[in-house]
Structure formats: C-alpha cells, structure tokens
Amino acid sequence: MTDAPRYHHGDLHATLLQEANQLLNEQGIEGLSLRKLAERAGVSRTAPYHHFRDKNALLCELAIEAFQQLDALIESADLSGANTREALQAFVRRYLRFATEQPEQYELMFGRTLWKTGNPSDELKTVAFASFRHYAEQVGVLFKGPLPAGTDPLRLAQASWATLHGLCRLLIDGIYVNREDMEAVSEQSVTLIMAALAPH
Amino acid sequence: MTDAPRYHHGDLHATLLQEANQLLNEQGIEGLSLRKLAERAGVSRTAPYHHFRDKNALLCELAIEAFQQLDALIESADLSGANTREALQAFVRRYLRFATEQPEQYELMFGRTLWKTGNPSDELKTVAFASFRHYAEQVGVLFKGPLPAGTDPLRLAQASWATLHGLCRLLIDGIYVNREDMEAVSEQSVTLIMAALAPH
DNA sequence: GCTGTATGTTGACACTGTCAAGATAACAGC
DNA sequence: GCTGTTATCTTGACAGTGTCAACATACAGC
C-alpha cells in the first residue's frame, strides 16, 4: 500500500506550483486562492505556509518560471540574418503567441498584482530585468549602420518593448484590438520599429 | 437644524462616486471596497446596492467618467499644424501625464478588473471605443501625402496606441522604464511613429 | 530511544461582496 | 389630511479570502 494517505505529502512545494499553474489557466489570477490550491493538493488550508512565506511569494515563484520561458524565447531569437524584417516579424509573432496562449501567466508576469500591489521578490526582479537586457541585446543586433538621429539603443529597446507589451495587453483584455487583427497589427508594429532603424 | 442626521442621505449616488475616486487615489483599486465607501458616506454596508447593481457597476461608472476626460484630451489635440513632430510630441506628453498623474484611474480604465474579470457595461464599451475612434481620426490627420507601403491608417492607429499604452503600463507599474526615462522614451516613441509616416 | 526540526492540522480573526427581510422616510392620489 | 406605494436604508446572514497562533505528527541525528 504505497498510496495510503501519508501524513507528509512528499513534495508539496512542487505540487503547489504545478496546481497553481493549472488553476491559473482555469480561473485566472482572481480565482487563484491558497485554499483552493491546498484542497487540490489534498492538504489543509495552512499547509502551504510551510513552503511559501505568503501568497505573494508563491506568485513570485510562478512568475519567475514564466520569465525563464520568456527569456529562453528571447535568447533563441536570431535577428542577425540578412532579411532583418522577416526575422523581426518572426520574433514578434512568437512573442505575441507566448502572451496570448498563456494570457494568465503573462498577466502575472507584468501585472499589477506583483509589481504594484504586492512586492516582487529580488529574484523576480533579477530575472525580469535580465529578460529585458537580453531583449535589448537582441534589438542591438538590428543596428547595422550608423544610428538615425533621435534613436538611442536603450530608448529604442524600451519603446519597442512598450509597443509589443501594449499590443499584448490590448489583445489579452480585448480592448481596441481583436484577435483577428493580431497578424495585421503586429506587421504594422514591425514596420514601426523597422522605420526607426532605417536612415531617412 | 438642517444638518441633523437624516434617514435619507440626499445624493448618495454622487457621493459614492466621489468618495470612490478619492479612495482610489489613496489606496488603489485593491483597497477600494463597497464597505469602506459606505462607511465614508456615513451609511450602512448595503446602502450602495440601492444605487448600483453591484461593485462592477460602480466601477464602470467611475471608468466612464475617466474616459470622458481622456476623450476630451484627445479631441483637444491639434495635429494639423506645420510642425507635425512637435504637435505629436506634445500630445504624447499630455497622454503620458494623464496616465501617470492618475495611475489608479488609468488602471481602472484599461485594466483587467473591468475588461477581463468583470463585464464592462455597454455604456463603458461605447465611451471607450469612441475614444479610440477619435484618436484614430486625430492620427489620420498626420497623413499628408501618400501612405508608405505597409502602413494602414487603422493599423497604425492601433499600433501607435499600443505603444503609448504599453509605455504607460510599464511606467505605472515600474517595469523596465523609470519615471526619469519618461521624457526620453516618449521622444523615442514619437520618432517611431513619425518614421512610419515618412516615405522611405 | 530521545530530542529537535520539518511538516501538517484545527481554530480563530478580520476582511470581502452580496442576498433576504424588515424598518423608515418621502411622495402621489384622493 | 389620510393612505398606500415606492424609494431608500437598516440589520442579519453566508460563503469566501489571507494569515496568525497553538497544537499534532513524522522523520532525522545522535
């Protein structure tokens, strides 16, 4: 009888994170409660507090996992090819797909829950900023000649990320941009960024 | 004795909205509860339910007020002048100021609270979309010659709004973009949009 | 085996939104 | 003025939340 109910769960930490991701997909951040999580893991309401300092800490770990995925996506991009526009378009497509296919994770990563209301853990801040740094490095590859006037690498990285990010937010929450428009608007955004790169 | 405590409040509807805006500024959306509102208005917990169907309805009215302000800001912009870049830069500055000076209202207007979790009222949807339409019209003024290839008025309106919006979100939540960077990044964003307008 | 620590449990508290039922004030029709 | 209807406000209740304190169990090291 190995599956008799044991007093100790075994690996509650990992189980909670796993269930949290699932609950996130099913009911969104608002539906994610520690009590539901505990029940799903077959454990009492306060058991999670032996593995996470509080709800905020659990959400931070969840967000860190997601950032690692995003970081991998960014690092795997190759914008050094000859056809710059095509490469950038492909990257944008992947970014949008990442955000729209797991909207709840994206919301958790960039949403106010952690960054404004709660307090993001140091590790989360580190991972998040590393992602941005890698993105900035990738965008830096795009510069092949002298920079046009009024264009600074860091500023362009920030502004172009804002474009991508804003697009994702509008898409996810369904404001002004529908899912059918996704491809068209993303192409327009790429045009925006490309135009800033070309001397004119 | 006109200020003796009367059974009926007088204009609880307006008072609640007013207190709600104040509470929003003080404690953010998360700190805004109907019970606190009722207490501030000097009324029992469930009194608000005689003036708003539920919390969502109250928040919708709050958001509608804010959208009317934003709409006025958009409509008052004049992008038809000779110095297009300067005019656009001025508009962007005003938009960013609107968002960063009342971040909680901006969050309410575009945040997930209403658009994803709750259900935005028909009136809210109408006002919000009108704002976007007016914005698109204003951006349309920018086109003075034939459109560059790969640029569509609607798509450019969506993409440029996404840029502005993404910038605001990153700024407000303090992700990747600090408040000191605001001016520089906004200028870069204007360059982005301007570049898409110029034939190249 | 004994002890200490990690883990899990129950009880409790202060919050939240919202419904049901009852109380009071204001007002319309006569 | 009186009466009935309606709008408004009240208390009571319920389910749900995060989190603390106190207690119980299991396991690891000696």
Q: Note every long-range contact of B174-182, with CB atoms under 8 Å and residues 24 or more positions apart, other chains counting.
A: B174/A115, B174/A116, B175/A110, B175/A115, B175/A128, B176/A128, B176/A129, B176/A132, B176/A158, B176/A161, B177/A158, B177/A162, B179/B100, B181/A155, B181/A158, B182/B96, B182/B100
Instruction: Encode pLDDT of B72-105 as tens digits.
Output: 999 999 999 889 999 999 999 999 999 999 999 9
Q: How far is the CA of A8 from the C1' of C2 (A)?
A: 22
pLDDT, residue A2, reads 40
Taking residues B178-183, what's their average pLDDT?
94
Asked if pLDDT for residue A139 goes beyond 50, the answer is yes
pLDDT, residue B2, reads 38
Q: How far is the CA of B158 from the C1' of D8 (A)?
A: 46
pLDDT, residue A7, reads 59
Write down the mean pLDDT value for chain B: 92
**Would the CB atoms of A162 and B160 count as touching at under 8 Å?**
no
DSSP state of B146: P
pLDDT band at B40; cut points 50, 70, 90: very high
Asked if pLDDT for residue A199 goes beyond 70, the answer is no
B107 reaches A (C-beta below 8 A): yes
pLDDT, residue B3, reads 44
Q: Which residue is nearest to nucleotide D27 (CA to C1')?
A: A8
**Would the CB atoms of B173 and A200 count as touching at under 8 Å?**
no
DSSP state of B21: H
A158 reaches B (C-beta below 8 A): yes
Percent helix / strand / coil, chain A, rounded to 5: 70, 0, 30
**Would the CB atoms of A176 and B161 count as touching at under 8 Å?**
yes
Write down the mean pLDDT value for chain A: 92
Q: How many CA atoms lie within 13 A of A22 on its CB side?
A: 10
B147 reaches A (C-beta below 8 A): no
pLDDT band at A1; cut points 50, 70, 90: very low
Decide: helix, strand or coil at residue A198.
coil
pLDDT, residue B144, reads 73
Residue B89 identity:
Q
Taking residues A154-164, what's their average pLDDT?
95
pTM of full prediction above 0.85 = yes
Contact A103, B115 (CB under 8 A): no
How far is the alpha carbon of B110 from chain A, nearest alpha carbon, in Å?
A: 8
Q: What does the alpha-carbon distance between residue A78 and residue B72 come to, in Å, rounded to a whole number?
A: 44
Least confident of A15-24, B37-46, B173-182, B189-198: B189-198
Instruction: Encode pLDDT of A29-43 as tens digits.
Output: 999 999 999 999 999
Instruction: Encode pLDDT of B41-55 as tens digits.
Output: 999 999 999 999 999
The length of chain A in residues reads 200
Q: Out of B30, B176, B192, whose CB is closest to A196?
A: B192
* Bases on strand C under 7 Å from any protein CB: 6-12, 15-21, 24-26
Q: How far is the CA of B49 from the C1' of C20 (A)?
A: 13
Q: Out of B151, B173, B189, whose CB is closest to A191?
A: B151
Which chain A residues are closer than 8 Å to B129 by Cβ?
176
Question: Which of A96, A116, A187 to probe by mutation at the B interface, max B CB count within 10 Å?
Answer: A116
Select from A156, A167, A161 the least CA-distant residue to A197.
A156
B 11-40 near A (Cβ less than 8 A): 28, 30
- Nearest nt to the CA of A48 via C1' is C8
